[in-house]
Protein backbone atom coordinates (compact mmCIF):
# COMPACT_ATOMS: atom_id res chain seq x y z
CA UNK A 1 0.00 0.00 0.00
CA UNK A 2 1.24 3.45 -0.90
CA UNK A 3 0.45 6.88 0.56
CA UNK A 4 -1.58 9.38 -1.46
CA UNK A 5 -3.34 12.66 -0.81
CA UNK A 6 -6.61 13.19 -2.64
CA UNK A 7 -7.46 16.46 -4.40
CA UNK A 8 -11.04 17.81 -4.44
CA UNK A 9 -11.19 16.70 -8.09
CA UNK A 10 -10.55 13.12 -7.05
CA UNK A 11 -6.98 12.98 -8.35
CA UNK A 12 -4.79 10.82 -6.13
CA UNK A 13 -1.41 12.47 -5.65
CA UNK A 14 1.26 10.02 -4.56
CA UNK A 15 3.47 11.13 -1.69
CA UNK A 16 7.13 10.18 -1.75
CA UNK A 17 7.81 7.49 0.85
CA UNK A 18 10.45 5.17 2.07
CA UNK A 19 10.46 1.71 3.48
CA UNK A 20 11.54 1.55 7.10
CA UNK A 21 14.56 -0.65 7.40
CA UNK A 22 13.90 -4.19 8.51
CA UNK A 23 10.11 -3.82 8.28
CA UNK A 24 7.43 -3.79 5.63
CA UNK A 25 6.20 -0.43 6.92
CA UNK A 26 6.09 2.52 4.59
CA UNK A 27 6.75 6.01 5.90
CA UNK A 28 5.24 8.83 3.85
CA UNK A 29 7.10 12.07 3.27
CA UNK A 30 5.97 14.99 5.38
CA UNK A 31 7.56 18.43 5.70
CA UNK A 32 9.55 18.70 8.93
CA UNK A 33 8.62 22.36 9.37
CA UNK A 34 4.82 22.10 9.20
CA UNK A 35 1.89 20.02 10.41
CA UNK A 36 0.10 20.70 7.17
CA UNK A 37 1.04 20.39 3.55
CA UNK A 38 -0.23 22.67 0.81
CA UNK A 39 -0.62 20.62 -2.32
CA UNK A 40 -1.29 21.97 -5.79
CA UNK A 41 -2.96 19.53 -8.19
CA UNK A 42 -1.31 19.59 -11.61
CA UNK A 43 -4.52 18.19 -13.07
CA UNK A 44 -7.15 20.75 -11.97
CA UNK A 45 -4.92 23.58 -10.60
CA UNK A 46 -6.64 23.65 -7.20
CA UNK A 47 -4.58 23.95 -4.06
CA UNK A 48 -5.58 22.14 -0.90
CA UNK A 49 -4.31 21.84 2.65
CA UNK A 50 -3.77 18.39 4.09
CA UNK A 51 -2.87 16.97 7.47
CA UNK A 52 -1.20 13.67 8.23
CA UNK A 53 -4.63 12.18 8.91
CA UNK A 54 -5.63 12.96 5.32
CA UNK A 55 -3.23 10.37 3.93
CA UNK A 56 -4.99 7.47 2.22
CA UNK A 57 -3.37 4.18 1.38
CA UNK A 58 -3.91 2.68 -2.03
CA UNK A 59 -2.75 -0.34 -3.96
CA UNK A 60 0.22 0.36 -6.20
CA UNK A 61 -1.77 -0.91 -9.19
CA UNK A 62 -4.34 1.87 -8.76
CA UNK A 63 -1.82 4.68 -9.00
CA UNK A 64 -1.58 6.67 -12.20
CA UNK A 65 0.58 4.92 -14.81
CA UNK A 66 2.23 8.27 -15.55
CA UNK A 67 3.80 8.21 -12.09
CA UNK A 68 7.38 7.28 -13.05
CA UNK A 69 7.78 10.40 -15.18
CA UNK A 70 6.63 12.83 -12.50
CA UNK A 71 8.57 14.66 -9.82
CA UNK A 72 7.29 15.70 -6.38
CA UNK A 73 8.54 19.22 -5.71
CA UNK A 74 8.64 21.43 -2.67
CA UNK A 75 8.14 24.88 -4.20
CA UNK A 76 9.06 28.06 -2.35
CA UNK A 77 7.75 31.31 -3.79
CA UNK A 78 8.60 34.87 -2.89
CA UNK A 79 5.91 36.87 -1.07
CA UNK A 80 4.54 39.83 -3.00
CA UNK A 81 4.17 42.06 0.07
CA UNK A 82 7.00 44.55 0.53
CA UNK A 83 9.02 43.91 3.71
CA UNK A 84 7.47 40.46 4.19
CA UNK A 85 10.10 37.79 4.06
CA UNK A 86 7.93 34.81 4.90
CA UNK A 87 8.14 32.08 2.28
CA UNK A 88 5.16 30.65 0.46
CA UNK A 89 5.58 26.89 0.46
CA UNK A 90 3.56 24.44 -1.59
CA UNK A 91 4.09 20.99 -3.03
CA UNK A 92 3.22 19.68 -6.46
CA UNK A 93 3.63 16.43 -8.34
CA UNK A 94 4.11 17.23 -11.97
CA UNK A 95 5.65 15.92 -15.18
CA UNK A 96 9.43 16.00 -15.09
CA UNK A 97 9.33 17.95 -18.37
CA UNK A 98 7.87 21.11 -16.79
CA UNK A 99 10.35 23.95 -16.36
CA UNK A 100 10.91 25.75 -13.06
CA UNK A 101 9.20 28.85 -14.40
CA UNK A 102 6.11 26.90 -15.47
CA UNK A 103 5.92 25.17 -12.10
CA UNK A 104 6.23 28.49 -10.25
CA UNK A 105 3.46 30.06 -12.34
CA UNK A 106 1.20 27.06 -11.85
CA UNK A 107 1.65 27.10 -8.08
CA UNK A 108 1.32 30.90 -7.75
CA UNK A 109 -1.91 30.84 -9.79
CA UNK A 110 -3.54 27.84 -8.12
CA UNK A 111 -7.05 28.22 -6.67
CA UNK A 112 -7.08 29.32 -3.92
CA UNK A 113 -3.72 31.02 -4.27
CA UNK A 114 -1.12 29.72 -1.83
CA UNK A 115 -0.16 32.43 0.69
CA UNK A 116 2.61 33.10 3.19
CA UNK A 117 1.97 32.90 6.95
CA UNK A 118 1.02 36.58 6.77
CA UNK A 119 -1.71 35.85 4.23
CA UNK A 120 -0.10 37.40 1.16
CA UNK A 121 0.17 35.84 -2.28
CA UNK A 122 3.24 35.20 -4.36
CA UNK A 123 5.13 37.61 -6.53
CA UNK A 124 4.62 36.55 -10.12
CA UNK A 125 7.37 36.10 -12.69
CA UNK A 126 9.94 35.33 -10.01
CA UNK A 127 11.88 32.11 -10.26
CA UNK A 128 10.72 29.78 -7.48
CA UNK A 129 13.04 27.73 -5.34
CA UNK A 130 12.43 24.12 -6.30
CA UNK A 131 13.50 21.23 -4.13
CA UNK A 132 12.97 17.74 -5.43
CA UNK A 133 11.62 15.66 -2.58
CA UNK A 134 13.45 12.41 -2.20
CA UNK A 135 14.83 10.54 0.76
CA UNK A 136 18.22 11.54 1.99
CA UNK A 137 19.88 9.17 4.39
CA UNK A 138 18.25 6.48 6.41
CA UNK A 139 16.48 8.43 9.11
CA UNK A 140 16.16 12.01 8.04
CA UNK A 141 13.07 13.45 6.46
CA UNK A 142 13.84 16.12 3.96
CA UNK A 143 12.62 19.59 4.81
C-alpha distance across the termini of the chain, in Å: 24
Output 71 or 141, the one with its CB closest to Zn ion: 71
Contact pattern from residue 99 through residue 128 relative to Zn ion, giving x for each residue in contact according to CB under 5 A and a dash for the rest: -----------------x-x-x--------
CA distance to 7, 76, 120, per residue, from 81 (Å): 28, 15, 6
Interface residue with Zn ion among 18, 64, 76, 81 (CB under 5 A) is: 81
Query: How many other C-beta atoms can be found within 10 angstroms of the C-beta atom of residue 6?
Result: 17
Longest CA span, the chain: 50
CA nearest to 57, candidates 90, 25, 22, 23: 25
Give, as ranges, the residues between 10 and 69 that touch Zn ion (CB under 5 A).
Answer: 11, 41, 43-44
Output 101 or 118, the one with its CB closest to Zn ion: 118
Interface residue with Zn ion among 55, 63, 71, 84 (CB under 5 A) is: 84
Q: Considering just the CA atoms, what is the radius of gyration of the chain in Å?
A: 15
Provide, rounded to whole angstroms, the least separation between the CB of residue 65 and Zn ion: 17
Residues that bind Zn ion (CB under 5 A): 7, 9, 11, 41, 43-44, 79, 81, 84, 86, 116, 118, 120
Amino acid sequence: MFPVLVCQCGEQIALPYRNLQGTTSVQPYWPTDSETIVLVCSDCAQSSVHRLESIRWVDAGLLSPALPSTVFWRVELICDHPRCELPIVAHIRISEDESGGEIGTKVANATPKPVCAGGYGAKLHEMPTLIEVEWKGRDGLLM
